[in-house]
């Protein structure tokens, strides 16, 4: 758990990371353009590897303006419509004070106590226990909670979760994560497009190459196409992998800091601890992508041997809370498989 004086450093670091991620997006897009050009050259010209690479580099330089425009368009669309896309995935819908005065008042009190603008409130119908914040600026910030969370947590626990998400917004974590998700989405899209295109190039290119090799006699050399194709595929895989690593390499300390920020706002470490215990193993959102799960207060999904886990374990977070602010840990609750009343209860749509 970082000390309070580290919060400002964390916010500044998030700003630098966001700028770095934007730069990384353009770099990875250019890398994919080069790989695509290399695959295209290899598909249509059975020349030496050095000639194909030089030719692909030339085409990449010519394509950079168009690739830059496409990347900017992608960012603009994500900036404007990312909330709608997330709502479409999760089914979240906005709620006003009259529809859910309990939820609205809890968040409003927290915002008033800190003098911060109140984010939009959204509710998604799900028996899962989870919540997440989204948005890139004050006009877009929103906090979404599940109906399962509303039914399972008492007021103090629900306030603690709202304070956790509000701290993510104040610390700039939400903006940084959205930027990371946008990058991963763009790279995955282009990488998949190139991979699919490679087979088309393979099929169409072989016949074209055979025709060229017998007709033009260019003397460029031969045998380099296979090397270039392997090289191009490796570059695409590298770019794809880097986009994932970037997303997962974002500091997990943001969850510790958000937990600490929740305690700072509510002065109630027990509420945050019991909320985490209730959410533990019950936060899986059906139909949500991994990108959405990374935004949640708890993400039960983890990668290979937890290497790519985006959240610290609930146990680690609770131990940090106890060390930082005291409180009592009630201990793990029975898993959903042993508590069908928690797992199986479905919440009727409002």
Burial (Cβ within 10 Å: 0-12, 13-18, ≥19) of residue 309: middle
Report the alpha-carbon distance of residue 54 to residue 228 in Å, rounded. Answer: 11
Catalytic residue ranges: 165
């Amino acid at each position: 758990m970082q000390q309070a004086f580290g919060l400002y450093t964390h916010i500044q670091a998030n700003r630098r990371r966001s700028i770095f991620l934007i730069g990384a997006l353009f770099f990875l897009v250019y890398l994919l353009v080069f790989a695509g050009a290399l695959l295209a050259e290899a598909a249509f010209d059975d020349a030496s590897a050095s000639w194909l690479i030089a030719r692909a580099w030339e085409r990449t330089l010519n394509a950079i303006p168009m690739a830059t425009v496409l990347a900017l368009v992608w960012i603009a669309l994500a900036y404007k419509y990312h909330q709608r896309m997330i709502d479409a995935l999760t089914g979240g819908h906005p709620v006003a004070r009259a529809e859910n005065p309990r939820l609205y008042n809890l968040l409003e009190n927290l915002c008033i106590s800190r003098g911060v603008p109140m984010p939009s409130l959204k509710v998604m119908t799900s028996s899962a226990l989870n919540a997440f914040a989204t948005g890139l600026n004050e006009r877009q910030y929103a906090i979404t909670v599940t109906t399962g969370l509303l039914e399972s947590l008492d007021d103090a626990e629900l306030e603690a979760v709202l304070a956790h998400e509000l701290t993510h917004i104040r610390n700039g974590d939400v903006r940084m994560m959205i930027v990371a998700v946008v990058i991963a989405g763009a790279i995955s899209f282009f990488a998949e497009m190139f991979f699919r295109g490679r087979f088309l190039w393979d099929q169409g290119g072989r016949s074209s190459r055979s025709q060229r090799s017998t007709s033009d006699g260019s003397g460029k050399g031969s045998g380099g196409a296979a090397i270039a194709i392997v090289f191009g595929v490796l570059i695409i895989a590298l770019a794809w992998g880097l986009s994932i690593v970037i997303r997962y390499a974002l500091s997990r300390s943001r969850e510790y800091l958000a937990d600490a920020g929740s305690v700072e706002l509510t002065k109630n470490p027990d509420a945050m601890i019991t909320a985490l215990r209730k959410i533990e193993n019950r936060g899986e959102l059906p139909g949500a992508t991994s990108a959405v799960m990374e935004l949640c207060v708890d993400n039960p999904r983890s990668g290979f041997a937890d290497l790519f886990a985006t959240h610290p374990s609930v146990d680690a977070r609770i131990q940090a809370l106890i060390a930082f602010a005291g409180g009592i840990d009630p201990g793990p609750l029975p898993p959903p498989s042993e508590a069908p009343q928690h797992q199986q209860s479905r919440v009727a749509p409002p």
